[in-house]
Amino acid sequence: MSQLDALSAFVTANMPGRTFKGAGFSSYMDELNFIPAQRDLGLDQYRMAIIRYNAVLAWDRFPYRLYDPRNLAALLLAWLMQSDRSLYEEVGIDTELPDFDIDLVDEETAVLIITLPMVEELSVIKDDKGNIPLDGARWRLADPTIWFASEAVVYGVDGQGAQIGSDK
Model confidence pLDDT, tens digit, residues 103-117: 998 998 889 999 998
pTM: 0.74
21 pLDDT tier (thresholds 50, 70, 90) = confident
Between 97 and 157, residue with greater pLDDT: 97
Q: Tell me the average pLDDT across 114-135.
A: 89
Residue 147 pLDDT greater than 80, yes or no: no
- Contact, 63 vs 22, CB < 8 A? no
Count of beta carbons in the 10 Å neighbourhood of residue 140: 13
Task: Give the model's pLDDT for residue 56.
Answer: 95
Position 23 scores a pLDDT of: 62
The whole-chain average pLDDT of the chain stands at: 84
More confident residue, 151 or 146: 151
CA distance 48 to 37: 7
Amino acid 108: pLDDT: 87
Q: What is the pLDDT of residue 1?
A: 61
CB 43 within 8 A of CB 51: no
pLDDT for 153 equals 72
* 143 alpha carbon, distance to own chain's centre: 10
pLDDT > 60? residue 168 = no
Closest to 118 in 3D by CA, of 25, 49, 50? 50
Contact yes or no for 139/122 (Cβ under 8 A): no
| pLDDT tens figures, 67-104 | 888 999 999 999 988 887 777 777 777 777 889 999 99
pLDDT at 73: 92
